[in-house]
Amino acid sequence: MRILLWHVHGGWTDAFVRGQHEYLLPVNDARDGWGLGRAGRDWPASVVEIPVGALRETDVDVVVLQRPAEIEAVERLTGRRPGRDLPAVFVEHNTPKTSITDAVHPLADRDDIPVVHVTHFNRMFWDTGRAPTTVVEHGVVDPGHRYSGTLERLGVVINEPVRRWRVTGTDLLPAFAEVAPIDVFGMGGGDLPAALGVGRDRVEPAGDLQTAELHRELARRRVYLHPLRWTSLGLALLEAMHLGMPVLALATTEAHRAVPPEAGLVSNDLDALREAARRYLDDPDLARATGDAARAHVLTHYGLPAFLRTWDLVLAEVRATGTVRPTPLSALERRL
């Protein structure tokens, strides 16, 4: 198929475009959010940049929408209405950001564009009204078993930790910094020590690294900490597990499904999480064995092959019928 989508979420797109289709990414002169194109990513040749002005003359089989404004943009740029003239599916990456229990999805009043959630938690929390829904859980490009854990430090990946603050659990970091120094990777972390009122010897902004460098550096830390309170399911958590890291996470949203007991600890008991961190810091063999279990689990449940096979089923169904089946694809179907 020829699939039109905007480059919005780099981590998710990195997995999605590695299937067997041709992926058309709009590009404009500004290279902004409406025309980012490949953005220098090391993606297959099947990922093709299309100037926005050429979209009207471009053959498209399915459009994968990720922002409500893309519905109007597709009609304006292609002359075809998503869900009516052009098969379309909307990927909902996020948890509700407003009134949580009353959050109505932007596509709730239409039944011609199915909504694909990236977690079961999101599907349960969003009120999607008449829109058909299903779930395609994340898949991650395997970076390989890179874990060494030689540094007795905690690794965290948070973009914009100061601005997002309680959403990302940034306020919890000082409690964990009492156990071990923390390296915080990601965008916008330069002011983090000052915002937290701690020294850089306890919380160190480690910068926004390229993916390969991030994986290399993260894997040197003894433990991965995932303090996010309200997120779909951070891809960084799944990447850390792929690296072979033991992980600690808050028991919120979908974390309990992603991290089995043998792979680390998922809890809202901060004292229990801190004690687990101490155990891994003091026992490198335990940390390594736990990380091995994390990697084994994530390869089975969040590996790239199953993700791409499931998307093939969804895209074929949307192209043929304009909708998706009303229940999530089962684990068995994902592994066929």
Domain extents in the chain? 2-139+304-334, 151-301
Report phi then psi at 251, rounded to 5. -85, 65
Q: pLDDT, tens digit, for every residue of 46-62?
A: 999 999 999 999 999 99
Q: What's the rounded mean pLDDT across residues 53-75?
A: 97
pLDDT range class, residue 331, cuts 50, 70, 90:
very low
In whole angstroms, give the CA distance from residue 237 to residue 139: 12
Question: Has residue 212 got a pLDDT over 80?
Answer: yes
Which ranges constitute the DSSP H helices of 173-303? Answer: 173-177, 192-196, 211-218, 235-243, 255-258, 270-282, 284-301
The residues with which 135 forms a beta bridge, in sequence order, are 117
Can you tell me the distance from the alpha carbon of 115 to that of 295, in angstroms, rounded to the nearest whole number? 30
Provide mean pLDDT across the span 10-28. Answer: 97
Average pLDDT on 295-305 reads 96
Name the pLDDT band for 334 (thresholds 50, 70, 90). very low
pLDDT value of residue 333: 44
* Model confidence at 335: pLDDT above 90: no
Q: Report how far apart, in Å, the C-alpha atoms of 93 and of each of 61, 105, 137, 252, 324 are.
A: 22, 12, 10, 16, 17
Q: Region 126-138: what's the mean pLDDT?
A: 94
- 21-50, pLDDT tens digit by residue? 999 999 999 999 999 999 999 999 999 999
CB of 227 closer than 8 Å to CB of 176:
yes
Mean confidence (pLDDT) of the chain: 94
pLDDT of residue 244: 98
Mean pLDDT for 281-295 is 98
Reply yes or no on whether the pLDDT at 83 is more than 70: yes
> Is residue 101 scored above 80 in pLDDT?
no
Q: Is the pLDDT of residue 210 over 60?
A: yes
CATH fold group of domain 151-301? Rossmann fold (3.40.50)
Q: Does 108 have pLDDT greater than 50?
A: yes
Determine the Cα–Cα distance for residues 65 and 48; give it in Å rounded to an integer.
17
Q: Do domains 2-139+304-334 and 151-301 have the same CATH topology?
A: yes
Q: Classify residue 311 by its DSSP letter.
A: H
Task: Report the pLDDT value the prediction gives residue 25, as an integer from 0 to 100.
Answer: 98
Q: Considering the domain 2-139+304-334 in this protein, what is its CATH number?
A: 3.40.50
pLDDT at 330: 44
Please report which confidence band the pLDDT of residue 327 belongs to, taking 50, 70 and 90 as the band edges. low
The distance of Cα 268 from the centroid of its chain, to the nearest Å, equals 21
Quick one: pLDDT at residue 98?
Answer: 75
Tens-place pLDDT, residues 137-162? 999 999 999 999 999 999 999 999 99
The single-letter DSSP state of residue 105 is P
The pLDDT score that the predictor gives to residue 323 is 82
**Percent of the chain having pLDDT more than 70?**
96
Which pLDDT score is estimated for 27? Answer: 97
- pTM score, two decimals? 0.92
